[in-house]
Chain A
Amino acid sequence: MKCRVCRGPAVIDVRRQNANYCRDHFLRMCRDQVAKAIDQFDMLKPGERVLVAVSGGKDSLACWHILRELGYEADGFVIGLGIGEYSDESTQYARAFANERGWKLHEVSLRNDFGFDIPTAAKATNRVPCSACGLSKRHLFDEAAREHGYDVVATGHNLDDECAVLFGNVLRWQTDYLGRQLPVLPERNGFPRKVKPLVRLGEREMAAYCVLAGIDYIVEECPMAAGNKHLGYKEALNAIEAESPGSKHDFYFGFLKRASERFVGEAEDEQRDLIPCTNCGAPTTGELCAFCKLVDRSSGYEPVVLRERR
């Protein structure tokens, strides 16, 4: 295998590009793809302050690293989710990454700051853990951006993430979600702008980026995500991709080009008539926002103890 750029020995193939790369040209290709996504979708303007939602996993750390490499003023934000050893370890990876480079990392702990954790919230609300986790993350990222004066929140969602969500939304024709599934959500109604700079890169590329750039990340999967639908969709899409490289890219970017606009109206309907939450001030449709309701229901609940791994 030879590098597409320099013809030296390649270390990785990217089949949807029908290309192989050596280390240096692979890292450059990843940076170029992120720069292209930022430009293509008007994600960031020069001089803007970016808050990167960091988990300690490969995507968010690579996202932060690449944004810095591209010259953006990007700081990190990590949430202690309280998912046993997994969360402690994830947060350690995020801290180590930031400390080694002297980059600023903001931290919040659900248990210490709000009196609950994700396993307990899942039990208290009788909903899947990923639901409480996503709700908490979205709320706290928005709040942190407002509180610390960041213009935009960047997340590490990659092409595989977006394809899996799109696949799930199409399977159930969740048209309001389809209207919101964009690489950029503009600032409005008190929500900061949200961007997904990794949408042009696949999950395998992000893992390879971390290995080749010397970024240590948590490899273990979240114990609460194991077996969820999202992971099943990813496996199904990878089975298609293995037979027909480029399918995931065409699925997602074809949706953005040819279909997403048709659903925007449905998403906008939901965004109207937002008022500040009476407790925290976050924009919401009712008196209390969904996060404050979650805190109310979960914080008095007896903590759920996860079985330790291994």
Chain B
Amino acid sequence: MKVLLRNPRRELEIAGPISVIALLNRLELNRESVLVIQGDELIPGDAMLDDTQTIEIRPVISGGAA
């Protein structure tokens, strides 16, 4: 599957099937810090992803120090 990552924007190719949680673990991403999105839909942590999918892993942490 295609995985789009942000900040910086980049694309990875990951072999499926794999669960969302396993994918985040493999990429060493904290579940609290990202959303997994396909189109306009959120993909829950227990969903299985296959090779045909294109997903975005969107960081949710933002903000200045002021």
Contacts and interface: CB of A to CB of B under 8 A. Distances in A.
Nearest to A128: B65
Nearest to A310: B9
Interface of A: 1, 10-13, 15, 20, 57-59, 128-131, 133-135, 137-138, 160-161, 164, 168, 202-204, 206-208, 211-212, 214, 219-222, 224-225, 228-231, 234-235, 238-239, 241-242, 310
Given A203-B62, A242-B30, 14 more contacts: A11-B41, A11-B44, A15-B32, A58-B60, A161-B63, A202-B32, A206-B60, A211-B41, A214-B40, A222-B62, A230-B63, A230-B65, A235-B30, A238-B32
Interface of B: 6-7, 9, 30-35, 37, 40-46, 58-66
B44 A204 contact: no
A204 B37 contact: no
Contacts of B7: 219-221
Nearest to B33: A238
Contacts of A130: 64-66
25 contacts: A10-B44, A11-B42, A11-B43, A11-B44, A12-B44, A58-B60, A58-B62, A59-B62, A128-B65, A130-B64, A130-B65, A131-B66, A134-B65, A135-B66, A137-B66, A202-B32, A203-B60, A203-B62, A207-B58, A208-B35, A220-B6, A221-B59, A221-B62, A228-B64, A230-B65
A257 B9 CA distance: 41
Contacts of A211: 35, 37, 40-42
Contacts of B35: 12, 204, 207-208, 211
A242 B62 contact: no
A233 B64 CA distance: 11
A138 B46 CA distance: 42
Given A20-B44, A242-B31, A310-B9, A234 B63 contact: yes
B61 A235 contact: yes
B33 A235 contact: yes
A225 B45 contact: no
A241 B32 contact: yes
A203 B6 contact: no
A133 B32 contact: no
Contact of A208 (B42, B46, B61, B62): B42
Contacts of B42: 11-12, 208, 211-212
